[in-house]
Amino acid sequence: MRCFVAIVPPEQVREDLDEFCAPRRTALPDLRWTDAFQWHLTLAFLPDVLDADLDELTDRLADAAARRRPPDARLAGGGVFPDATRAKVLWTGVEATADDRAELDRLSVGCRNAAVAAGTTVEGRGFTPHVTLARLACPADASGLLEVFGTYVGPSWRAAGIELVASYLGEGPGRRPRYETLAELPLGRR
């Protein structure tokens, strides 16, 4: 099963960002926009979770989440992967104080370590806190996008927990992924 561990911003945070993106969707129809209800901050990507490992994975993630305090953050600015001249993914960043950013980093490492200890493969290297907004069909210069999305500043919120989410490619509306939350795990319960 393809899964990820994520922080899902509260509804009012996603609504604010969605309002900012709405006029850009029509102005930039060549982008494949991610649905607002699917926006999340990925802490760990788990490309192949075995059903037999799911209970242990959930327990270990619950323990990792309980060890971390809930950080305060807000969505702000814009960025692209891999770089501005060959952009394929448009995202908004996550702003936090130095202490809260360190807490997000520790949470990501804890989730990755929990998955490995449960026998699950973790994909990806470093943690770049972001929310994917859209994908470009072909790599392109995104200087204009960065200028526009660099102005976004959303409301602050406190992350209360993490979610373990299964991702089913091509099963959602418009052949997009369909997400199913397998577990909601609170932060800071120890």
Chain position carrying tokens 């943690």: 127
State the average pLDDT over residues 34-38: 92
Tokens in use for 166? Answer: 């299964």
Q: Is 40 a catalytic residue?
A: yes
Residues 50-65 pLDDT 10s:
999 999 999 999 999 9
> What residue type is 61 in one-letter code?
L
Preceding amide of 23 cis, omega within 30: no
* Residue 70 φ/ψ, nearest 5 degrees: -65, 120
Contacts of 29 (CB under 8 A, 6+ apart): none
* Residue 107 φ/ψ, nearest 5 degrees: -65, -45
Q: Catalytic: which of 14, 40, 74, 112?
A: 40
Chain position carrying tokens 């900012």: 20
Alpha-carbon distance of 43 to 5, in angstroms, equals 5
Q: Catalytic: which of 75, 130, 134, 164?
A: 130
**The 3-state secondary structure of 24-88, one letter per residue:** HHHHCCCEEECCHHHCCEEEEEECCCCHHHHHHHHHHHHHHHHCCCCCEEEEEEEEEECCCCCEE
User: Per mean pLDDT, which range of 39-53, 74-88, 123-137, 165-179 is the poorest?
Assistant: 165-179
State the average pLDDT over residues 63-80: 96
Give me the pLDDT at residue 190, please: 55
Q: Is 156 a catalytic residue?
A: no
Give me the pLDDT at residue 170, please: 80
Domains, the chain: 3-186 (3.90.1140.10)
Alpha-carbon distance of 162 to 157, in angstroms, equals 14
